[in-house]
Structure 1
Amino acid sequence: MKKLCYILAFASDLLLVTPLYAQPHHMGGMNGNPMGHMSQGNSFSGFNNHIHQDAFQDIQEIRRTREEQGFERLKRLKWQEGYTMPQHYRSDRYKVNYNQYNLPRPERDQQWYRINNDFLLIDATNSIISVQ
């Protein structure tokens, strides 16, 4: 019983002192080989990297397509008073000077934005106050 308690105490000390982390895929196994039992001269790791690159490119293409679809959807958006302006348009790139476009002067904490040839008056809470 004494030996069992000693072993448990020693094992718990190791677990508390030595953090156990999963190794990155490329560093696992023996000699950095993801398949430790295979020799360094095999082509498995090259094949594995090729699969990862293809999967990464597929994911990037899906993201790009989804982003383009979302942007097209925002272009067709009909602005209405009381709506919140999408975050995509909150940059300085869309801000305009009201004098250049003969717009009414905005009050304090308001700003005119030009989005798809629509002029939106936005307040500090990003709510649409006026559409012209």
Structure 2
Amino acid sequence: MKQSLTAMALCLTVWLSIPVAFAGPPHGGNPGRGGGGFFDSTNEYRDAVSLQDLQERRRQREERGFERLKQLKWQTGYTMPQHYRSDRYKVDYNYYQLPRPKHGQQWYKVNNDYLLIDDDNTIIQVH
């Protein structure tokens, strides 16, 4: 059984790699003769610009998301967004004079609000 699965996996790998073996150079050019192949400087520049543009759009989208989350009004029963579930938002209840959490609960500080969260990431209490 184990040998037949190994043989099938090997066959599948060979079968999927056949199109890659017959692929030509990118853009149909010859890299050594200025045909727009691997070493074409315009492609490298275009790729760098498109990567910078992609990173800038991603950064702007994240900023919009953070601004939206800052305006969020917390209420009991809501699920805490995944972005705030890291340890850097957790706080010590004694230091901030918050009620002691029960087993499976944790206090988080988000945008000057203190949220008591249970194991299911549900907001139990807002201070």
Deviations 1:86-130 (A, max 9, x none): 111111111111111111111110000011110000000000000
Distance 1:22 1:39, change over 3 A: same
Partner residue, 2:119: 124
Whole-Å separation in 1 of the counterparts to 2:120 and 2:15:
48
Report the TM-score when normalising by structure 1: 0.73
SS of the equivalent of 1:21 reads helix
Residues 78-93 of structure 1: matches in 2 within 5 Å? 78-93=73-88
Residues 50-61 of structure 1: matches in 2 within 5 Å? 50-61=45-56
Partner residue, 1:10: none
Distance 1:125 1:22, change over 3 A: farther
Letter of the structure 1 residue corresponding to residue 50 of structure 2: A
Unaligned stretches of 5+ in structure 1? 1-14
The higher radius of gyration belongs to 1
SS of the equivalent of 1:113 reads strand
User: In 2, are the aligned partners of 1:34 and 1:45 still within 8 Å (CA)?
Assistant: no
User: In 1, are the aligned partners of 2:77 and 2:123 still within 8 Å (CA)?
Assistant: yes
Q: CA RMSD in A?
A: 3.1
Identity of aligned residues (%): 53
Whole-Å separation in 1 of the counterparts to 2:22 and 2:48:
20
Distance 1:83 1:40, change over 3 A: same
Distance 1:39 1:124, change over 3 A: same
Partner residue, 1:21: 20
* Matched residue count: 113
Whole-Å separation in 1 of the counterparts to 2:59 and 2:17:
42
Partner residue, 2:94: 99
